[in-house]
Structure 1
Amino acid sequence: MPGPPGLPLEIWGRIAYFADVKTLKKLRLTSRGSSMAATPRLFKEVTPSPFEQNCDKVDNILANENLRRYVNKVTLDVHDWFPVSRDYNHTFVLPSIHKIPRVYLHCSEVFRGMNSEFPNVRNAVIRFSKGFQFGDNDEDYGLQYYEIRSGVMKLFLSWLTSLPRLPVGLRLQNLHNVNSEDTETVLMLQQLLGNLRSMRLGILHEDDNPDGELSLERYDQYHKFARELPSVWLEPVSSILQHLSLYSSVYYGFYPRLDLTNVHLPNLKMLSLGNHIFVHDSQLNFILFHSSTLRELYIDNCAILYAVGIYNKNMCYLATPAGVMDVDPTETYRVKHRATYSQRWHDYFRAFNEGLPHLCYFRVGTNVTWWTELDGIPFGRESGIETQLSSKRYMEFDDDCLPPYVWYWNRYSPGPDDESPPRPNCDPEDFMALRVLLRRIGQRAEGKGVFWDND
């Protein structure tokens, strides 16, 4: 039956574009016109996972020649899969091949058969578990250790690189902060990265403590991954990448140090940073360096570090030729290095306003989905950033405090550290500079409280 009189297929297409999955299923059964519009949207993405019911759904799409050509995106979801066991010494071990659930092997077979069956896949997603916390008993459902993640990654990369055309979009949610040293995996990753136009990395840092920053001294992999990120993940995609999202489960940029001064993405149109710490003008300049192309900028739960007190200065971002750190003369048992940063958010907003002429969309604030029950690190949720000036937008770093990243009302400093600089008092200046920027690009502030949160 055709659609209502006077309702052309283009209108059905717009309706389907804004409809959720439940509505799309109903539209597919409503009329011929609504079905023609809803079907491509409904089967645009498939989500294989190591669960039999889900694999059966993928099989049904594979069996339908008309439906499988609509598939543009494949999301491998292992968020809730924990095929782990413990020996009597409470050591985590990888199950042998005959102990791996049949549904996982079934998914492997699905991957092997999809290279020719899904010819139009252009986007790939892997969604790992958000949890690394170790429990005290065998009922630890929050654990998904490295061997599992690396095995799944290799399986997925093997399938992606076998496609007739390599995908142009890659999203990795809750990516373990350990780069693979397996030669085959490295080669497949380089092959895939060389074709990407869009990449989202949600980096998850292993920790046995609820405050991730407490383990910065304990685990070198925090710092090793940050050092390797530009060469392993960004340089291979630098010539063609248009959309980049870098998120982390702990604050990064200063400590662990992420140095992007030698990274240039000449086609970058969208940049999204989550949990990023700004402490040096070179970090601002990295953004401004893409002024000729950048159109969208998202600053999610980020902060300016106005004061630093750190013992291990060689591991932080200011340990560069441009950084200046003074020695604290009051310390007697260890040498503590201190530095201050004079730039404020109103300086950054003005720099964005003047230095990014093509910017047409900007959000700064905190995503409402940070560490929800299911998601963990926000994943492609830039629309969830409520534009506001958070009280946490200014922080200081003091490694005598736990956690070391502190803002003015959770700050405590033992002994002589009470003389640290006061928190910046520039709310009106930040407010006005942000308002001028938003007005210039023609954007209204969004989110409750407009600019001010309720921290």
Structure 2
Amino acid sequence: MFFDLPVELQRVCVHTLHVDALKEFRLVNKTALALATEVLFGTVSLMPSDESAEKFTNILHDETLSSFVRKVIFNTSHDPAAEDRKESDLLDSFADAMRSVGRFKNLKVVDLGFALNCAHEDGSVTGWEKEVAETVSFRTDVLETLLEGMDNDQTPATNVNHLVIKNLQDGTSPGIYNSAGFISVLGRLKRLHLNITTETDEASPEDEIMKPSLHRCFNRDLSERWLKPLQQQLTHLTIYCSTFWGFFPVCDLRGVHFPNLKSLSLGNWTIVHVWQIQWLLSHGRTLEAVILDDCPIVTVLKVNAEQKPKEWNLAVSSESPTSQIDIKEIGMRWHHVFPRFQLELPHLQHFALGQGGWKEGTQFEERYDLAPRLLKSRYQMFDCGIGPSHFFESGEAEKTTWLFPTCDDQDFEALISLLEVVQERWDAMI
């Protein structure tokens, strides 16, 4: 019978039940009641309403129920994908609940979710500013309030070592990064999962890639503010973004190394340089899981002076002797990369390359369910002269005279070989 199983196995099984099933399961007997209650109240969510804040506070003040709480989810909006332009205010009840988060004595995980749509307050050359519900000021207030709760003098959330932030704006206020609370909270983390959102421009989408905040985030803030302080302690890292990053905007992580990293998940990371692969492989001593979600190798780059990487002293070709547009072909292919993963990541037990639910907005939450697949989008090209996006895949081949790679068989064979080795390692662990 189920109740003859070891308690830990019972817990594992109960964790797979949906909420309605858990509520029914509680009625079976006293043991079931205890197990289901532990799971039901293991995660507590706070929505932006007085009613939600009241329920949150009631659990907090219940000594028994609050002891079950291991994860708290803060959502600043009811629908993160909504394009609401009415400016949001931070409810007093919501803020008070956030400030009390450290009172959950067994809390391990804090998950903060903002709205997807964002804008910056520094204006534009046209003097027009995009209107969004969650302004920079609002987001800053939320982050300050959360840090205040997690680094409270009386009840600091000292056991929280796992932080998730969804739709973190690329232009986060420097005041947050310089605060004592941010530094203190960061110092406790072992797991960091960031889903970064960037400003969109409906009138000129081709200009989105040149926004200064996007480049500050990936050129500097991501590595200097978030990653370097965590180098010695981080075991799990996720970096997703609503737009492509890696090649342009430039994100050079060669100065960052995590000696204890076990899991790495990257979303919308574009690969151009061999050193990007080498950076990933430098964690081979510890890395057990690699997820590459919509992470293409960019095989042809048509770039202007601002977009050309500094190490490219000479372009492969140019449109004309006086042209400021340079063109470079990238020879890297996935069948070059997969064998290196197989040999240089000796502890790899989970690997996925593919494309998650980006259209549905589920890619970040469901990243660990991503199945390895060879899609056309695994190779892209970049052309600074086209829009709305400078990136395009083989299904849009009419945009270029350059040929996309024709190496499906080689890629497939290399991927199968890698997955067979990964599966063998996984089986050996069971």
Aligned to 2:390: 404
Please tell me whether residue 326 in structure 1 is matched to residue 321 in structure 2: no
Aligned to 1:439: 420
Counterparts of 2:203 and 2:21 in 1: how far apart (Å)? 40
Contact 2:100 2:149 in 1 (8 A): no
Aligned to 2:358: 370
Q: Which amino acid aligns with 2:138?
A: I
Q: How does 1:249-328 map to 2 (within 5 A)?
A: 249-312=242-305, 314-316=306-308, 318-320=309-311, 325-328=315-318
What count of residue pairs does the alignment treat as equivalent?
408
Cα 1:248/1:59, change in 2 over 3 Å:
same
- What is the aligned counterpart of 1:224 among 188, 212, 216? 216
Instruction: Report SS of the residue matched to 1:216.
Output: helix
Q: Which amino acid aligns with 2:285?
A: S
Q: Percent identity?
A: 26
Q: How does 1:233-248 map to 2 (within 5 A)?
A: 233-248=226-241
Cα 1:337/1:65, change in 2 over 3 Å:
same
Structure 1 range deviating more: 177-186 or 20-29: 177-186
Structure 1 gap ranges (5+): 87-91, 135-139, 445-455
Q: Which amino acid aligns with 2:228?
A: E
Counterparts of 2:147 and 2:379 in 1: how far apart (Å)? 40
Cα RMSD after superposing both structures? 2.8
Please tell me whether residue 42 in structure 1 is matched to residue 40 in structure 2: yes
Counterparts of 1:387 and 1:4 in 2: how far apart (Å)? 34
Q: Which amino acid aligns with 1:165?
A: T
Counterparts of 2:162 and 2:175 in 1: how far apart (Å)? 23
Contact 2:101 2:157 in 1 (8 A): no
TM-score, normalization by structure 1: 0.83
- What is the aligned counterpart of 2:369 among 384, 401, 409? 384
Counterparts of 1:345 and 1:184 in 2: how far apart (Å)? 37
Aligned to 1:158: 148
Q: How does 1:107-122 map to 2 (within 5 A)?
A: 107-116=94-103, 118-122=104-108
Q: How does 1:54-69 map to 2 (within 5 A)?
A: 54-69=52-67
Contact 1:73 1:124 in 2 (8 A): yes
Counterparts of 1:4 and 1:223 in 2: how far apart (Å)? 54
Counterparts of 1:236 and 1:310 in 2: how far apart (Å)? 33
Cα 1:6/1:203, change in 2 over 3 Å:
closer
Counterparts of 2:77 and 2:411 in 1: how far apart (Å)? 39
Q: Displacement, 1:338?
A: 1.6
Q: Displacement, 1:164?
A: 4.7
Please tell me whether residue 338 in structure 1 is matched to residue 327 in structure 2: yes
Q: Which amino acid aligns with 1:249?
A: S
Counterparts of 1:183 and 1:164 in 2: how far apart (Å)? 18
Q: Which amino acid aligns with 1:203?
A: I
TM-score, normalization by structure 2: 0.87
Contact 1:249 1:377 in 2 (8 A): no
